[in-house]
Structure 1
Amino acid sequence: MNPAPGSYSISRSRFFGQRLNVSANIIGRSTRTWLAAALFLLLIPVTVLVPAPRASALGNGLARTPPMGWNDWNAYGCNVSEQLVKQTALAMHNNGMQAAGYQYVNIDDCWMSSARDAGGNLVADPAKFPDGIAAVAGYVHSLGLKFGIYEDAGTATCAGYPGSYGHEQQDANLFASWGVDYLKEDWCNIPFGSFPGQSHQQVAKTLYSRTRDALAATGRPIVFSMCNGWDASVQPWTWAGPVANLWRTTTDIQPNFSSMLSNFHVNRGLAPYAGPGAWNDPDMLEIGNGMSATEDQAEFSLWAEMAAPLIEGGNLVNASSSTLSILTNRAVIAVDQDPLGRQGTQVSASGGHDVLAKPLSNGDVSVVLFNETGSAATISTTAGAVGKSGASSYTLTNLWTGSVSTTTGTITASVPAHGAVMFRVAGGSTTTNPTGAVHANGASKCLDVPGSTQANGAQLQIWTCNSGVNQTWTYSAGQLTVYGGTKCLDAYNNQTAPGTKVEIWDCNQGANQQWLLNADGTITGAQSGLCLDVTGAGTANGTPVELWTCNGGSNQQWSIG
């Protein structure tokens, strides 16, 4: 049928071969926010540089670490049933997953009948759930596990079943009465026409806040998961901390390396928005669903490093020993579940060779060396680059092999194609780094990459502060990085003369990419000794930034946060 005026029909791929047609008002692309956070160098005095705080988390006291569990969709699609849920719950109880920390047994779309009952209540499909949802939840609870369910913020779910729009409190009350512990709410069939003049993001704030309040009113603790990442205009990470416990940041994942890599690329730069009770969700795990064991291990490493929810989307009833060995690696799970709640950040990314670091609550740092390319490669970093200092040697524990070694500072490994090596680094002290906008204090503007380009050589400028991805910088290991750590503040062509343009370039740890954040508010090039300078003390949008002899001017005063 024809979509409503102002909308169009989209086909949302579901990965077992079925395609579901969804009518939705999808506006043009908007810039995705790619933010990064990293570790701060203690030897640099930065008393005036304070990182911007993450928005407060939803105050329901839940999901203080990323949720762990299972969801039926990726492996089964609409073929959900009471028998499947019970069999999976029992498998998790017996195969080591529950003991490893997995709690939630979640059903996705297609669990309900095509219409509400006379009282307006949702009804479970009697053929799929003959004993009803409450009985299934009771069985899951009897095993010491928790039960999750699916709904949609719109008039219908993505598969066309009744949505919660206009029934938020009624549905929340029903879920609570059934013993639901986790709600995943999707973003299909939204009646945008009922919100004239409002953006998709504004509508999302309204509808998801309704569900948050409805869940709170039930008095039952229910983890709230927003699933709207495939609508890029919503950008939930920028506002959803007080609304939900987790939010999708990406399109639906598929069981192949390319899709997993794409979701990693989107999610890796959003660390400032994650923390206890509020998590970036790059979608479910595809462990055992079609990637190689090497790729599965890489996905699990990356998701743990990013403090992502570990919601497995595979067939656990018949899971292989290889799949289970990955899913139940307690050393890797401990990184994901670390109570400090920090999402790992990009330390370097060059030629598809990525280094990520995640500070842990006991002072250790988790480091992932990830090889995106199709050929084996040696990937290296240093203890200093990942935030470690103050020791003559450090202990490296390989979290996949269990081997333990020591290093005076170099962290290196041969990493297979599409693979990851994961270390826990102990010893010395761990530092933290500021992240946020770099304010040009004299102009009351922000350091800005023109047009959000990621092209090497783009000269930086000042622009009205807007919290954009192109204005969000992280200071780590002497570098100022943007776009999730993939681009660095760079002095053009290693030049050291006053007037040298300041640009972005691929991070390469060159001397012209090393910067000192000074207590007097200046930022100086370690190579040149010159100050980051707003040309001619200009204050207009678009004024270029360059290197100049330090002179104490207000156009050389900067702060981060």
Structure 2
Amino acid sequence: MHSVIDDCWAVKSGRDSSGNLVADPSKFPNGMKWLADQVHGLGLKLGIYSSAGTLTCAGYPASLGREQQDANLWASWGIDYLKYDNCNDAGQSSQQGNINRYTAMRDALAKTNRPILYSMCNWGVADVWAAPIGNSWRMSGDITASFDATHSGCPATAVGGYSCSVMNILNKAAPIATKGAKGGWNDLDMMVVGFNSLTADEQKLHFTLWAAIKSPLIMGHDVTKQSATTLAILTNRNIIDLNQGTWSVATRTYQRGNIQLWQQTSPNNVDRIVIVLNSGGNDETVAVPFTDIFANDSVRQAATYTVTELWTNAVSNSVRGQISVPVKRHGVWVARFAPSGSQPTTTRSATSTTSRTTARTTTTTSNQGGSQVKYGQCGGIGWTGPTGCIDSTCQFSNPYYSQCL
């Protein structure tokens, strides 16, 4: 789990006489090395922010052309995570320009010999799907605490932008969900769970889908003021397991009006996670035939299942042929399907018995996908990946990952 510092942490007037970034002493009077030690003492890791440009998005000094110097400085402080934004790119906004700018920082982080998770915040522009470059990549514009409101700054189909709603980002993620794989993950932006502008049902839908797509789970609310409802949502171990366990990345089976069906599979393709979301304005009862869940597999379509709903732990036995599920407006129904006679092995109590609320910053992240990867063995970049082939299309081969199984 990381505590991540975002933009505006540095002195805005510039670098010191040696060309190093300087933490603002009014915000960090004891310096970043001291802060990193304190955060590490809590059992957390510390993240920091910069941009692949001449200035950050808020106009502070950034790292374009200074990649190695800045990476060395962060490593000396004990930084574990870098969010690398895409503002003020000095005209290098083409696909190759994006690749060059983000690869430069990847290489600089690798040379520090410190494992620093590399989070690319390139908003999905220039089709830089980044498994050969970063450990995660933002695939859309900035999120806002809205379930489905439209905003001129966040077009329905175009990438980039700002004030993007939960459903806007989710619908953009659906066609590229499988770009996420061991070594690199789609980042749907921080979560807005805990914001009062979303209902509890909307927050559950939001958390469920972010977890199932295996986005980094980044909390953006003030954890010192969160409600019991927010804490219960964020500590539901069944839902966390969709993100951290061995389930596949969720893919969307269909969208029919306001109803969407998403699925995850177990490694042996026997058990299923079935997710039904309702983006419409009315509660609905949705009939889901097994032909939709187990397409082109007549044996599984004919089997009988034990169905365990993951928010309530309600169990339905001997389910066969189809299931009808109640889904609230702006809500979600999510369950594990296990063939009858087999006992689910990873369904947890709905609420974790251990939760950490001691983070001193309001943004934290935790993600190792669902691949049981080891941390810190990839030439200093961070997360491990499979030998050579990074994603399911085998388009990427990356020497930084080639010895990291």
TM-score using structure 1 length: 0.55
Report the Cα distance in structure 2 between the residues aligned to 1:108 and 1:329, rounded to whole angstroms.
27
Report the Cα distance in structure 2 between the residues aligned to 1:304 and 1:296, rounded to whole angstroms.
12
Is 2:289 the partner of 1:395? no
The one-character-per-residue Cα deviations of 1:61-119 (angstroms, maximum 9, x if unpaired) are: xxxxxxxxxxxxxxxxxxxxxxxxxxxxxxxxxxxxxxxxxx11111001110111010
Q: Which moved more, 1:357-366 or 1:178-187?
A: 357-366
Q: Provide the residue aligned with 1:133 in structure 2.
A: 32
Unaligned runs of 5+ in 1: 1-102, 429-561
The one-character-per-residue Cα deviations of 1:488-529 (angstroms, maximum 9, x if unpaired) are: xxxxxxxxxxxxxxxxxxxxxxxxxxxxxxxxxxxxxxxxxx
Unaligned runs of 5+ in 2: 149-164, 341-405
Pairwise CA RMSD of aligned residues? 1.6
- Please say if residues 364 and 427 of structure 1, whose CA atoms lie closer than 8 Å, have aligned partners that are also in contact: yes
Q: Provide the residue aligned with 1:40 in structure 2.
A: none
Other structure's SS at 1:332 match: helix
The one-character-per-residue Cα deviations of 1:345-401 (angstroms, maximum 9, x if unpaired) are: 111211110110011236421111100101111123233422374363111110000
Q: Provide the residue aligned with 1:261 in structure 2.
A: 167
The one-character-per-residue Cα deviations of 1:423-453 (angstroms, maximum 9, x if unpaired) are: 111128xxxxxxxxxxxxxxxxxxxxxxxxx
Name the aligned partner's letter for residue 295 of structure 1. Answer: E
The equivalent position to 2:105 in structure 1, one of 203, 211, 219, is 211
Report the Cα distance in structure 2 between the residues aligned to 1:339 and 1:183, rounded to whole angstroms.
26
Is 2:198 the partner of 1:304? no
Moved over 6 A (4+): none
Report the Cα distance in structure 1 between the residues aligned to 2:99 and 2:321, rounded to whole angstroms.
46
Name the aligned partner's letter for residue 88 of structure 2. Answer: N
Report the Cα distance in structure 1 between the residues aligned to 2:321 and 2:66, rounded to whole angstroms.
58
The equivalences for 1:21-36 within 5 A come to none
Other structure's SS at 1:108 match: coil
The equivalences for 1:396-475 within 5 A come to 396-406=307-317, 407-427=319-339
The one-character-per-residue Cα deviations of 1:459-507 (angstroms, maximum 9, x if unpaired) are: xxxxxxxxxxxxxxxxxxxxxxxxxxxxxxxxxxxxxxxxxxxxxxxxx
The equivalences for 1:20-419 within 5 A come to 103-114=1-12, 115-192=14-91, 200-229=94-123, 233-237=125-129, 240-258=130-148, 259-289=165-195, 290-340=197-247, 342-361=248-267, 363-387=270-294, 389-390=299-300, 392-406=303-317, 407-419=319-331
Report the Cα distance in structure 1 between the residues aligned to 2:102 and 2:30, rounded to whole angstroms.
30
Report the Cα distance in structure 2 between the residues aligned to 1:177 and 1:360, rounded to whole angstroms.
41
- Please say if residues 135 and 185 of structure 2, whose CA atoms lie closer than 8 Å, have aligned partners that are also in contact: yes
Report the Cα distance in structure 1 between the residues aligned to 2:143 and 2:106, rounded to whole angstroms.
25
Name the aligned partner's letter for residue 337 of structure 1. Answer: Q
Report the Cα distance in structure 2 between the residues aligned to 1:168 and 1:415, rounded to whole angstroms.
49
Report the Cα distance in structure 2 between the residues aligned to 1:323 and 1:271, rounded to whole angstroms.
26
Larger radius of gyration: 1
More strand by share: 1
Report the Cα distance in structure 2 between the residues aligned to 1:172 and 1:321, rounded to whole angstroms.
39
Report the Cα distance in structure 2 between the residues aligned to 1:125 and 1:299, rounded to whole angstroms.
35
Report the Cα distance in structure 2 between the residues aligned to 1:190 and 1:413, rounded to whole angstroms.
48
Q: Provide the residue aligned with 1:494 in structure 2.
A: none
